[in-house]
A and B are shown apart, each in its own frame.
Chain A
Amino acid sequence: MTLETFSGTFGLWMGAALTLCIFSFLYKDNPFYRFAEHLFVGVSAGYWLVYNYWNIVKPNLIDPLREEQWQYLLPLVLGIFMLTRLFPNVGWLSRWAIAFMIGSGSGIMIITYLQSNFLEQIKSTLVPLDPTGQPWYVVVNNVILLVGVVSGLVYFFFSKAHTGVTGRIARIGVVFLMVSFGASFGYTVMARISLLIGRLYFLLHKCVGVI
């Protein structure tokens, strides 16, 4: 066995052992699980630190500053202000950096959310309900879409009590919401099952080789 093959095999078995350590939590909390959990936290934190350094800090801050692009001094100063949170005496300086982030984020959000979440959604809902020139089922689906959107919005409108006509429309909204939540739940379950199959396949195929 060459060193290269040995290292690959070792990595594979390390992955398998840690997978079993995590699965052991299904029985109850135990030292094997806690070992894998703490190892994961350390590795993950280290990974993201390195990732942020090589992919964000270096190309976007260190390299431009080396090229004498002095406008990057501003994020450096604000970044240092952000770190003052760790020191209670000067922690108030971090508010400046937070204010810049929140302020610029809010400014861009007004435009993007109004465009993508509001105008575009309304535009996509207001489609022709005229049966001429299109199959009947498309028209029916468009009507259902319109009813679903309006009734869903009425359900989330809390300035008026959900009684009488408003209550009945809100109830229709609940029907749509429940179907949507059910569909989302089904999707989530299948995504988790898919991950579980992936882990079992890893153990039984790559490590043990029985399937």
Chain B
Amino acid sequence: MRRQVPLVICFVAGVLMLAQSFVPPLNWFYTNALAWARIISCIAVFIGLISLVRLHATKVRRRAADWKFSIITLLALLYMMLAGLLTRYGVFVKLHGQCVPGSMGDKIVTGFQNAFNFQDIFLNIQIPVQATMFSLLAFYIASAAFRAFRARTFEATLLLVAATIVMLGRVPVGHYIWGVPQATAWILDVPNTAAKRGIMIGIGLGMTSTALKIMLGIERTYLGIKD
């Protein structure tokens, strides 16, 4: 039962999903399965969240390295949960006044509290930190490029030339250099498209064969079954 039932579910769900493309009366399964999959994957997010809480709670309990920072993570998570989930039910409204309907919980718009409500924490903490973390990669990518782009071989030279032209073509000064905008467009439209197309065809065939193997129960590592 532990092995056979999941394989049967996988096969039936796969066949129904495949068949609905050719048998219109089965479209109900497509519509429902998409909504169901969204719900299940969303609930799966909670597993990650619980793991995160367990990890940091354990670090705090055992006084492991950097445990004080784990408290910050847990407090931030707790505050965002409360601010995001409870505002709609009026808890924060009673405390801080006016409430404006929003897409994710309601927004408190009065006074100092404004900097600490759900949406403003997202705007003032998550967005700046996320953007800065990704922008840090500019420094590391530049350092990696310095090491990788030494024109030692013909292939490395091609990589260097293509990257340089594309980078120049993406900045305002590149538009004033003769031929650079045209060369950038040509690289992106012709050789780049050709290579990407080859890769995409390979991916298409690979995905199809893997999907068939999964449906037929040949590939079952996703279930944690080793044989």
Contact = CB atoms under 8 A, between A and B. Distances in A.
Interface stretch (A92-100, A128-136, A160-168): A92-100
B167 interface: yes
B114 interface: yes
B125 to A, nearest CB: 5
A86 B49 CA distance: 11
B135 A198 contact: yes
A182 B167 CA distance: 10
A42 B75 contact: yes
A106 B205 CA distance: 13
Nearest to A193: B138
A209 interface: no
Contacts of B14: 103-104, 106-107
A75 B77 contact: no
B135 A199 contact: yes
Contacts of A18: 125, 128-129, 132
Contact of A152 (B74, B197, B207): B197
B18 A111 contact: yes
A44 B130 CA distance: 9
Interface string A166-210: 000000011111111111111111101101101100100000000
A11 B223 CA distance: 46
B14 to A, nearest CB: 4
A57 B43 contact: yes
Closest 8 CB pairs of A and B: A148-B194, A46-B80, A107-B17, A152-B198, A42-B76, A117-B204, A182-B162, A50-B84
Interface of B: 2, 5-7, 9-19, 21, 30, 32-33, 35-50, 52, 66, 69-70, 72-81, 83-85, 88, 103-105, 110-115, 118, 120-139, 141-142, 145, 155-156, 158-167, 170-171, 186-205, 207-208, 210-212, 214-215, 222-224
